[in-house]
Amino acid sequence: MKVTFPHMGSTLVYRKLVEMLGHEAITPPKPSQRTIDLGVKYSPEFACFPMKVIMGSYVEALEKGAEVILTSGGHGPCRAGFYGEMHKRILNNLGYEVDVWVFDSIKRDYKNFMNIVKKLKGDNSWLRLWTILKLLYQVTKDVDGFEMQLQTKRAYETKKGDCTRAWDKIQHIYNSVQDEKGLKEARQQCQNLIDEIPVMIIPEDQKIRIGIVGEIYVVMESAANMKMEETLGSLGCEVRRSHYISEWIEHNMIPKAFSKSHEEEILKKGEKYIEIKIGGHAKETMGNIVDFHEQGFDGIIHLMPFGCLPELVSQSIMPKLMDDLDIPVLTIALDEQTGTSNNLTRIEAFLDLIRNKKRNRLSKVS
């Protein structure tokens, strides 16, 4: 079976899962202008931006011969819940004989989840499946850890692009991990790679730390957010995101009894501002900002697809939260018409503001 999946940041886990179970993985290319154009062309105009980009990715993967699309369902009750269905219909209309398998959270729809697992599992033994899942979970944990190191280092790299190159290599190295032994070697190799990157030494009080929060797709996929992490890195900021794949797995795939996920803590922190889950990631957005603030971050970039229903609620409450926590937040709405240059100016101004604020605070103390 030729299986494809959405491109959301990294495709490593999906690809490995598919390949290790003996299927052929058709990895969609990193979304480009062509992807977005295709997506816009074939999606209804009202669809949310993430849905359009993903649509484009699917078309590109189908051009490469994919037969099955493996994806995860929406988060809470929002438009995303229909994406699987809508994508399938549109693609079938375009003449592609494609099946769409939607992984909804195991906690929400156990039967459907197990159905897909069985289809994917094929002739593999349950033990083999378990070993693969365990390994992949380790892989995501490792890779997320390395990504964070790079998100810090990128701010200080002496040669521009080193960290991004290392990141590509790391994904490549992990792509060929087949077992525990390989995992250990990869871990060592990647750590060395990172340690070798030369960096400038910046005094602690001049470091800027930015948290990126918001709707999951535009936070995770750099092609949809004007390469926000790299941009901030090149402007000298350390970066963390609100979403990492390993955390998503912990929250959605591992039964509650075994773990109190990071995401639950985040939700708790968001409760003061948005009491209940309202769909999408609005409540998480609030919780993540509180969390970043507690960790001492200097500012927040809040990314949302244009017109995103739940994020409009978080955007509404943002001024109050900024006031309460005294943390600067810049909200950026993204869609296919987003102009990079205009937003770059906004980001630079935002960083100036943060630097000034920091300087003032320091001079007050001394």
The residue ranges that bind other proteins (CB under 8 A) are: 44, 46, 48, 77-79, 81-82, 85, 273-276, 278-280, 282, 306-307, 309-310, 312-313, 315-317, 319-321, 333
Sheet arrangement for strand 237-241: 237-241, 208-214, 299-305, 329-334
Closer CB to other proteins, 164 or 315, in the complex:
315
Closer CB to ligand SF4, 31 or 310, in the complex:
310
Task: Quote the least distance from Cβ 49 to ligand SF4, whole Å.
Answer: 7
217: three-class secondary structure by DSSP: helix
Residue 90 binding partner per list other proteins, ligand SF4, none, with a CB distance cut-off of 5 to 8 Å that depends on partner kind: none
Residue 237 binding partner per list other proteins, ligand SF4, none, with a CB distance cut-off of 5 to 8 Å that depends on partner kind: none
Closer CB to other proteins, 253 or 317, in the complex:
317
Residue 102 binding partner per list ligand SF4, other proteins, none, with a CB distance cut-off of 5 to 8 Å that depends on partner kind: none
Give the count of alpha carbons within 13 A of 155, CB side only.
19
Closer CB to ligand SF4, 46 or 126, in the complex:
46
Q: How many Å apart are CA 63 and CA 283, to the nearest integer?
A: 38
Q: Give the residue closest to ligand SF4 by C-beta.
A: 280
78 conformational bin, left if phi > 0, alpha if psi -120 to 50, beta if neither? beta
Residue with tokens 């340690």: 195
Residue 50 binding partner per list other proteins, ligand SF4, none, with a CB distance cut-off of 5 to 8 Å that depends on partner kind: ligand SF4
Closer CB to ligand SF4, 56 or 233, in the complex:
56
* Chain residues in the site for ligand SF4 (CB under 6 A): 48, 50, 78-80, 215, 280, 305, 308-311
The answer to whether the beta carbons of residues 199 and 158 sit under 8 Å apart is: yes
* Cα torsion through 253, 256, 261, 263, rounded to 10: 80
Task: Quote the least distance from Cβ 55 to ligand SF4, whole Å.
Answer: 13
Task: Quote the least distance from Cβ 48 to other proteins, whole Å.
Answer: 8
The answer to whether the beta carbons of residues 314 and 286 sit under 8 Å apart is: yes
The answer to whether the beta carbons of residues 80 and 50 sit under 8 Å apart is: yes
Closer CB to other proteins, 48 or 190, in the complex:
48
Task: Quote the least distance from Cβ 318 to other proteins, whole Å.
Answer: 8
Residue 305 binding partner per list ligand SF4, other proteins, none, with a CB distance cut-off of 5 to 8 Å that depends on partner kind: ligand SF4
Among candidate residues 116, 115, 46, the one with its CA nearest the CA of residue 86: 46
Task: Quote the least distance from Cβ 270 to ligand SF4, whole Å.
Answer: 15
Closer CB to ligand SF4, 60 or 335, in the complex:
335
CA distances to 49, 108, 136, 232 from 165, in Å: 28, 39, 23, 16
Residue 6 binding partner per list other proteins, ligand SF4, none, with a CB distance cut-off of 5 to 8 Å that depends on partner kind: none
First to last CA, the chain: 66
The answer to whether the beta carbons of residues 145 and 246 sit under 8 Å apart is: no
Task: Quote the least distance from Cβ 272 to other proteins, whole Å.
Answer: 9
Task: Quote the least distance from Cβ 285 to other proteins, whole Å.
Answer: 11
Closer CB to ligand SF4, 164 or 225, in the complex:
225
Q: How many Å apart are CA 25 and CA 17, to the nearest integer?
A: 9
Helix, strand, coil percentages for the chain (3-state, nearest 5): 60, 10, 30
